[in-house]
Amino acid sequence: MRAASRAARVFAAVAALSGAFAMKAHAQSGAQDYPARPITIVVPLAAGSGMDTIARLYSEKLQQSLGKPVIIDNRPGAALMLAAQAVAAAPPDGYTLVLATTSSMAINPTLYKQINYDPEKSFTPIALYVKSPFILAVNPDLPAKSVNELIALAKSRKDPLNYSSPGAGVAQHLSIEYMKSKFGIEMTHVPYRNTPQSILDIASGHVHLGFVEAGAGLPLIKDGKLRALAVSSATRLPVLPETPPFAEASGQKDFEAVSWHAMLAPAGTPDAIVQRLHNEMKRIMAEPEMRDRVAALGLIPFDTPSVADLRVYLREEREKWGALVRSLGLAGSQ
């Protein structure tokens, strides 16, 4: 009986090892033949959005270099998480990819009671290729013409300044809260249900200020209905070159509060496929034409870190925004 039991265990171990080798060999074979069929990129925003526009631009170039169709699948919904949920459950073969943002990968995992994916364990990063900064905009009647003047004004007032955002827990809201924590100032949050109204009410004087998206805020800035004090990125915004980065304007050198666009694959996707897609994205996004198109949308083209460095960056972003969500008492509030 003991010999039979020992033999059974040995057989099970050999079978498991053989299965592992077979799976590895299958993955390597798949990587060598990749791509053998169309690739789908799942976009968490609607067609016509900045993310969608950029994805359609580079998908054409990917299609040319990979020799297979690259299909854009728009799946907005669930606070940008619907797309991530779908791709987390997809086969890890390089044929289904997802575009992710700060919200879906760094904020929502702490903000929401439950999500159906793990931002670290469910995905393999491929490329982070765009940063989407916000513009710190104030009503022109506010007596603050620089970031330091705004901070001094906020500290001197008995009644706190107020600021708008498209809702509690969104990136614009947390960016102001990040600023407040860095400089020890008080401001009152006025949440709205949508982006346009949250910006228009700064221009009309109903609220004092806010971090606004470039695409929605630039026309009002150019018309003199909003005053731009800084951009939230570490570098200048190409469409607003005269406005300094917040870090430069404030002297707070490590300040950056941006959304970003990252391409991810399901966890377990073969390294050879991940690296090939990484190299293609790095090459495509470095082309002058692509950089110009991205800049024209009010975004900042970004030279993606290596896959290993990207893992570190995404982890740091989760820790940064997760800690802020917790400090505001918003953990699990959605």
pLDDT tens across 148-204, in order?
Answer: 999 999 999 999 999 999 999 999 999 999 999 999 999 999 999 999 999 999 999
pLDDT tens track for 39-60: 999 999 999 999 999 999 999 9
Q: Report the pLDDT value the prediction gives residue 19, as an integer from 0 to 100.
A: 47
Indicate which CATH number applies to the domain containing 82: 3.40.190.150
Residue 24: pLDDT band by 50, 70, 90 thresholds? very low
Query: Which tokens in the block code for residue 182?
Result: 């860095």
Please name which of 208, 233, 252, 201 lies closest in space to residue 298, comparing C-alpha atoms: 233
Determine if residue 308 is left, alpha or beta; phi over 0 gives left, psi from -120 to 50 gives alpha, anything else beta.
alpha
Does a structural domain hold residue 14? Answer: no
Give the domain-ending residue among 187, 219, 250.
250
Distance CA 192, CA 204 (A): 15
pTM of the model: 0.86
Q: Provide DSSP, 218-278.
A: HHHHHTTSSEEEEESSSS--TTSTTSPBHHHHHS-TT----EEEEEEEETT--HHHHHHHH
Q: Report the pLDDT value the prediction gives residue 23, as an integer from 0 to 100.
A: 45
Widest CA span of the chain, in angstroms?
90
| 104 lies in the same domain as 201 | no
| 142 lies in the same domain as 123 | no
Distance CA 231, CA 1 (A): 74
Distance CA 155, CA 140 (A): 19
Indicate which CATH number applies to the domain containing 186: 3.40.190.10
| 235 lies in the same domain as 162 | yes
Query: Which tokens in the block code for residue 60?
Result: 């054409």
Distance CA 108, CA 334 (A): 9
Summary mean pLDDT of the chain: 91
Does a structural domain hold residue 7? Answer: no
Q: Report the pLDDT value the prediction gives residue 2, as an integer from 0 to 100.
A: 47
| 230 lies in the same domain as 279 | no
Does a structural domain hold residue 147? Answer: yes
Q: Which domain holds residue 103?
A: 34-132+261-327
- Classify 282 as helix, strand or coil: helix
Please tell me the total count of domains within the chain: 2
Looking only at the bridges linking them, the beta strands covering 134-138 and 96-100 are unpaired
| 143 lies in the same domain as 118 | no
Does a structural domain hold residue 266? Answer: yes
